[in-house]
Amino acid sequence: MSEHRGVLVVGAGPVGLFGALRLAQQGVDVLVVEAGSELGTTSKASTFHPSTLDLLDEAGAAEELLPLGVVVDEIQWRDLAGDILASVPFSVLEGRTGFPYRLHAEQTLLTPILLRKLRELNPDSVRFSSRCVSVEQGDGSVTATIAGFDGATTVTSGFLLAADGAHSEIRKQLGIGFPGASYESRALRVVTKEDLREHLSNLTGIAYVRDERQSCSLLHMRDHWRFIFRVAGKQSDAEVLDPEAVRELIDAVAPGVSIDFSEVYSNRAHIAERYVSGRVALAGDAAHVTTTAGGMNMNCGLHDAYAFARAMAEVLGGAPLSALEETGAARRGVVKDVIIPRTESRAAGSDGDADALARAVASTRELAADPERAFRFLYEASMFDTAPSLRGER
């Protein structure tokens, strides 16, 4: 069996589905193939930055996502005694965005919204249990072989958007390297279903605890709170997850609070040697993986999807093919020159170094007291300097 489509998207994660929706909204005949039998359900990304909410809004998806998450309108730094060291309200971004706050919501809440909107435009736009097993490029088209329940299908399209995740087979088939490395430090995520605001007064939805004894981040999700600790030592994962050790860490922050779940994950950074090869573009984790510090990787992938969908729609509408290459170079430059260094500096921490911690706290206080610096900080943390522009120039 063979068929023709404007664009084939591989992968129905947040990035593939958002790219497909934007393509469909620009009148492109799009098909998404997903190897899994249903949408992913693993808890991963949890933060949508204001720049991403603006892009989702253009697709009509922000309105439905907002009620499912927690709106966080202020970032706070505090110590273990409960003193507020500094705070910056997202209201400094008013006028720059329709969403002067970050939204804490699991990425698994976004994907069903994108899927439904896509199917409303074209009921046959997403196929599950369909794995892309090979890709060949010809003159002006891409031919992909899709293995499904009922055998193999050949899909010929004008472009292919590879959003097939960090282990991207398409990236490997194209011979594009994915250099990078794991960081020495790992992250420990501990979840409590209790409301931390009943234990810690004046707590905002995102708080950075900075204290000589123990630092961590606290995130408010709809039905739980997360503690994120940086693990710098050489202990094994099992040692880090030892219930007594976890209890001790939590008690230093919020004594006695219940512990419902804990996990350790390693942090790494990888970036594809190039994002575009002929008529195939890599987006999301297929193109880059960064540390989870600052919650930027999925946001960056959604930005890739938006930018590539626009470029592909433009080229299909008659613009030169170079628009795709230019978009790939711009998106790659953003991750290499800005996102990776930024997430690395955020992940660095100053555990055990009292002077470095005191300097970091003093600098944060100065920043919070200076409206221009506070704006710049939140502008960058919200990824406005690295997001594609809305409805306009590339």
Ligand X SMILES: Cc1cc2nc3c(=O)[nH]c(=O)nc-3n(C[C@H](O)[C@H](O)[C@H](O)COP(=O)(O)OP(=O)(O)OC[C@H]3O[C@@H](n4cnc5c(N)ncnc54)[C@H](O)[C@@H]3O)c2cc1C
Q: Which of 265, 375, 379, 384 binds ligand X (CB under 6 A)?
A: 265
Q: Residue 180 CB, nearest distance to ligand X (Å)? A: 14
**50 contributes a contact to ligand X by CB under 6 A:** no
Residue among 53, 48, 26 at smallest CA distance from 118: 26
**44 contributes a contact to ligand X by CB under 6 A:** yes
Closer residue to ligand X, CB minimum distance, 342 or 357 = 342
**33 contributes a contact to ligand X by CB under 6 A:** yes
**131 contributes a contact to ligand X by CB under 6 A:** yes
**65 contributes a contact to ligand X by CB under 6 A:** no
Task: Give the helix ranges, DSSP H, for the chain.
Answer: 14-25, 50-58, 62-65, 107-121, 169-173, 237-240, 243-253, 297-316, 322-334, 340-348, 354-369, 371-381
Residue among 196, 257, 246, 249 at smallest CA distance from 221: 196
**12 contributes a contact to ligand X by CB under 6 A:** yes
Burial class (CB in 10 A: 0-12, 13-18, 19+), 175: exposed
Binding characters for ligand X, 152-191, by CB under 6 A (x = yes): -----------xxx---x----------------------
Residues numbered 289 to 318 that lie near ligand X (CB under 6 A) are 292, 295-299, 301
Residues numbered 320 to 379 that lie near ligand X (CB under 6 A) are none
DSSP state of 58: H
Q: Which of 11, 50, 100, 349 binds ligand X (CB under 6 A)?
A: 11
Closer residue to ligand X, CB minimum distance, 136 or 353 = 136
Could you count the other beta carbons within 10 Å of the beta carbon of residue 63? 10
**106 contributes a contact to ligand X by CB under 6 A:** no
Cα dihedral 319→171→4→326 (10° resolution): 0
Tokens of residue 30, six digits: 């799009």
Give a three-class secondary structure readout of 245-261.
HHHHHHHHHCCCCCCCE
Closer residue to ligand X, CB minimum distance, 54 or 169 = 169
H/E element, 227: strand 225-231
Size of the site for ligand X (CB under 6 A): 33
**285 contributes a contact to ligand X by CB under 6 A:** yes
CB 189 within 8 Å of CB 265: yes
Q: Which residues in this chain contact ligand X in the complex, by CB under 6 A?
A: 10-16, 33-36, 40, 44-47, 107, 131-132, 163-165, 169, 265, 284-285, 292, 295-299, 301
